[in-house]
């Protein structure tokens, strides 16, 4: 029932387009969307449509996030899909990710160095791991539901997120600071989005950082967050107003 309700919310949110004027200029760029571990391309529809309204070509990649390791997701699904993208002369490839997708694109870019790489925006990325995973890694239900990639999200120095190192590409990170899960929030340090702490979303080398008043799940449908995505892709910086705060 909960999954069906969230699915319905995703469809309804996708039709609630941000009230942003259509960009009539010719845009040669493509944006690749990467989803989280317990979702899929449908969950990113609102972002996809908002970017298409700005003139971008958009490719939302589907992959079995809960069945493969992050390395295999990047190598077997993202890399082939990116190679198939046909760009107009002078076009660039940008990435917008949610949750686990942030680590998938970091792994992809660690193994690939596309000359036409543009900018990357991550929403709620566990760049330093997830403290909850440190508690749940040995739980059989967690292992069953989130699979190999979920097991890689610990916060230890030898865990996957910490081994990736600093980023070396233009990156904007968007963190949420509203939680609807007080039980999980009690196990997360400082402010959090109900899944990932604000502190854990940061990574050395990022170009800009902003927080929005949204939870982890609903951040991808949150209008201020989507507007921040657009701002970073177009300018390389987030904008500042009352609905979003920098740190």
Domain ranges of the chain: 28-241
- By DSSP bridging, strand 208-212 and strand 93-98 are unpaired
pLDDT range class, residue 19, cuts 50, 70, 90 = very low
Predicted confidence at residue 218, as pLDDT, reads 94
61, pLDDT greater than 90: yes
**In this prediction, what percent of the chain has a pLDDT beyond 70?**
81
pLDDT range class, residue 243, cuts 50, 70, 90 = very low
Predicted confidence at residue 10, as pLDDT, reads 47
Tell me the pLDDT tens digit for each residue of 154-200: 888 888 999 999 999 999 999 999 998 887 888 788 899 999 999 99
Tell me the pLDDT tens digit for each residue of 70-115: 999 999 999 999 999 999 899 999 999 999 999 999 999 999 988 8
Candidate CATH numbers 3.40.50.11030, 3.40.140.10, 3.40.50.1820, 3.30.420.40; the one for domain 28-241:
3.40.50.1820
Predicted confidence at residue 144, as pLDDT, reads 57
In this prediction the pTM is 0.86
Angle, helices 223-235 vs 45-53, to 10°: value is 50
């Amino acid at each position: 029932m909960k999954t069906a309700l969230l699915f319905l919310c995703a469809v309804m949110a996708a039709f609630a387009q941000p009230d942003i004027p259509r960009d009539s200029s010719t845009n040669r760029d493509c944006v690749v969307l990467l989803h989280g571990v317990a979702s899929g391309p449908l969950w990113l529809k609102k972002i996809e449509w908002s970017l298409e309204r700005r003139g971008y070509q958009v490719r939302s990649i589907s992959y079995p996030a809960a069945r493969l390791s992050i390395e295999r997701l990047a190598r077997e699904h993202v890399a082939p899909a990116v190679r198939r993208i046909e760009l107009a002369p002078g076009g660039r490839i940008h990435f917008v990710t949610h949750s686990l997708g942030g680590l998938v694109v970091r792994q992809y870019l660690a193994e690939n160095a596309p000359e036409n790489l543009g900018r990357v925006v991550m929403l709620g990325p566990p760049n330093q791991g997830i403290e909850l995973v440190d508690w749940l890694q040995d739980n059989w239900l967690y292992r069953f539901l989130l699979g190999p990639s979920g097991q890689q999200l610990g916060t230890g120095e030898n865990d996957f997120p910490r081994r990736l190192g600093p980023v070396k590409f233009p990156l904007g990170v968007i963190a949420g600071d509203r939680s609807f899960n007080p039980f999980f929030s009690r196990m997360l340090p400082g402010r959090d989005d109900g899944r990932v702490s604000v502190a854990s979303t940061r990574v050395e080398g990022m170009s800009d950082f902003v927080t929005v008043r949204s939870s982890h799940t609903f951040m991808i449908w949150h209008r201020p967050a989507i507007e921040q995505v657009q701002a970073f892709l177009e300018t390389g910086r987030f904008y500042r107003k009352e609905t979003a705060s920098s740190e």
